[in-house]
Chains A and B, each alone.
Chain A
Amino acid sequence: MSWEAEIVDGLIDAEIDLVTQLPDGAMGTVLEGIQDADVDTLLVEREESAVAAASGAWVTGERAAVMCQSSGLANAINAIGSLSVPARLPFLALVTRRGNLGEFNIAQVPAGYGLPAMMDEMGVRHTVVSGPGSLRKTVRMAAESAFSTRTPYVIFLNATVTGYGQEAQ
């Protein structure tokens, strides 16, 4: 099973109702799989809105996930820190992480490489996935933990999972 299918199945297992997202070429197949599975998706203008919308959905009993790149999660720091965490509005985040192995663009390094530590500083739990094995289980368990504890949970997907640009070679 492809890593993309593992993620889609994990989101279905976790009974995710809504995925808020911005486009990411690496996650295109995942997005198609989500939409084929009739899970609602919402294209937002900025990742801060993806976090806010996912957080807002919780008050209706829905479970939402955010899909974005690591630079986008950096855009959403204040929404996480002054809405989701203090108001205890849970969501699952699937974040393609730039800035580590294979990264060719220095502009992606400070935020991409540093985000796990930033999440630690904010008290947001996360896991960094470097291999595709058991991704389905990881997604399901991360979602269960997020919604059971009313806290956000972030899954970082390293380029060793999602692939990386030929520019690096």
Chain B
Amino acid sequence: MAADQFACTAAVVEETPDAVVVSNLGVASYVLAEVAPRKRNFYLWGSMGSTTATGVGVAHGTDEQVTVLTGDGSLTMSLGVLSTVATADQSNLTVVCFDNGIYGTTGGQPTTSVDFAAAAEAQGVPATRVEADTAFTAAYADAVDRDGPSLIECTVEPTDPEARPTFDFPHIPRRVCESLTE
């Protein structure tokens, strides 16, 4: 059983329309660009493994909800970052790990199997694992309401979105900045 990454990403924006959404390079950013192109999308074009830490930095400087959309390959690369999430202890930060079981941007090679929810809990971050769209929507609402950071591990079917964020990388964070400070 697996959720649909498009539906789950749309649910994030519907539940938290003012959130800054920091999206991992590749599939997470492509899906976000397709379902909800918006000023507060902080698409990354590089730095695999650094998406969650980027979100921690954003969450430090704003009271708005900050949601990280990362993938299983990227989070595996920096699994210890969840200890930083726990240390920062930000009530406005939610990390969503879409686990499609592959490195989606490099040709679909299989990833290793990691229990991300258990890894998060072990580092002090409350976590939930879901495998369906409705369960994700409920888990995300709970995570946003929680007074502290949390992680949602969401098993999804692999997908190959057509949309791309702008290639003008400096424009992306500048647009987020203007949206937060205007």
| B56–A59 touching, CB < 8 Å | no
* Residue-wise interface mask of B (168-181) relative to A, using a CB-CB cutoff of 8 A (1 in contact, 0 not): 01101110110011
Within 8 Å CB of A58, what residues of B? 57, 173, 177
B78 at the interface (CB under 8 A from A): yes
CB distance from A14 to the nearest CB of B (A): 16
| B50–A52 touching, CB < 8 Å | yes
Bound CA span A50–B60, Å? 13
Within 8 Å CB of A79, what residues of B? 47, 50
| B172–A45 touching, CB < 8 Å | no
Binds B, one of A83-91, A114-122, A131-139: A83-91
| A49–B44 touching, CB < 8 Å | no
Closest chain A residue, CB of each to CB of B83? A45
Tell me the A48-98 residues at the B interface (CB within 8 Å). Answer: 48-62, 64, 78-79, 81-83, 86-89
Bound CA span A18–B57, Å? 9
| B61–A60 touching, CB < 8 Å | yes
| A56–B58 touching, CB < 8 Å | yes
A38 at the interface (CB under 8 A from B): no
**Within the complex, which residue of B42, B45, B54 is in contact with A53, where a contact is CB–CB below 8 Å?**
B54
Bound CA span A53–B53, Å? 5
**Interface residue count for A (Cβ, 8 Å)?**
35
Within 8 Å CB of B44, what residues of A? 83, 87
CB distance from B68 to the nearest CB of A (A): 10
**Within the complex, which residue of A45, A48, A54, A86 is in contact with B57, where a contact is CB–CB below 8 Å?**
A54
Within 8 Å CB of B180, what residues of A? 59-61
| A45–B81 touching, CB < 8 Å | yes
CB distance from A133 to the nearest CB of B (A): 33
Can you give 28 A-B contacts (C-beta < 8 A)?
A17-B61, A20-B57, A40-B60, A42-B56, A43-B84, A43-B87, A45-B81, A48-B50, A52-B51, A52-B54, A52-B56, A53-B54, A53-B56, A53-B60, A55-B54, A56-B22, A56-B57, A58-B173, A59-B180, A60-B60, A60-B61, A61-B181, A62-B60, A82-B45, A86-B45, A86-B170, A88-B170, A89-B173
Known: A56-B60, A79-B50. 12 other contacts (CB 8 A): A17-B61, A42-B88, A43-B87, A44-B81, A56-B42, A57-B61, A62-B60, A82-B46, A82-B47, A83-B47, A83-B50, A88-B170
